[in-house]
Amino acid sequence: MKACLEQKRQPLPNYQSKNLFQTLRQSAKTHGYRSVLWFGIIRWKDHHFNQWASRCAWNRLRIRLQRWRGVDIGKNVHIGPGCTLDYPYPYFVHIGEGASLAGNDYVLAHSTPMEYHTQCVESFVAPTIIGPHAWVGINVTILPGITIGEGAIVAAGSVVTHDVPPRTLAAGVPARIVKPLAL
């Protein structure tokens, strides 16, 4: 968790906003053709491990696949089926000990707007942290750079656009603090 907390909001490299062929061409020019092969292997691994994890019937295997991708996951965590953890930047996602993601949740660590919107929306990558013993309901979207505090609950169907303090209930689109929890 310490490494995840030390990461700050960073701009995405310019080549991230281009299509895949432009990215591979630029990488080959800059780093050589072996880097293109390595880039392809990493992208394949991240995509397929995330797909397999989201469709897997066993929580233990879902967690193992996500850890292989680079997601920092604590002990006794439940990740429900259909959860999508950030594709290109899994190492920016931290899930604390005893946390629970119900299912069909999206946890994002980056924002890449379409080229048309680049003047008005920033492109960045930032750590997304789900604290220990937090409970994220079904169909929740957590945007990049958000911290869900220890023991917090995010109600089903919410879109989290701001940090959720510890031991509180957040709900809505966008999610707002509904009440503090007496734990």
Which has the closest alpha carbon to 109: 132, 94, 128?
A: 128
Q: Would you say 146 and 162 are in contact if contact means Cβ atoms under 8 Å apart? A: yes
Q: How many CB atoms lie within 10 A of CB 61?
A: 12
pLDDT, block means (10 residues), the chain with 183 residues: 57 55 64 62 82 89 92 95 88 95 89 73 87 96 95 96 96 95 80
pLDDT at 17: 47
Domains belonging to the chain, first-starting first, are 14-180 (2.160.10.10)
pLDDT at 15: 47
Q: Would you say 134 and 155 are in contact if contact means Cβ atoms under 8 Å apart? A: no
| Distance of alpha carbon 170 from alpha carbon 63, whole angstroms | 25
Global pTM exceeds 0.85: no
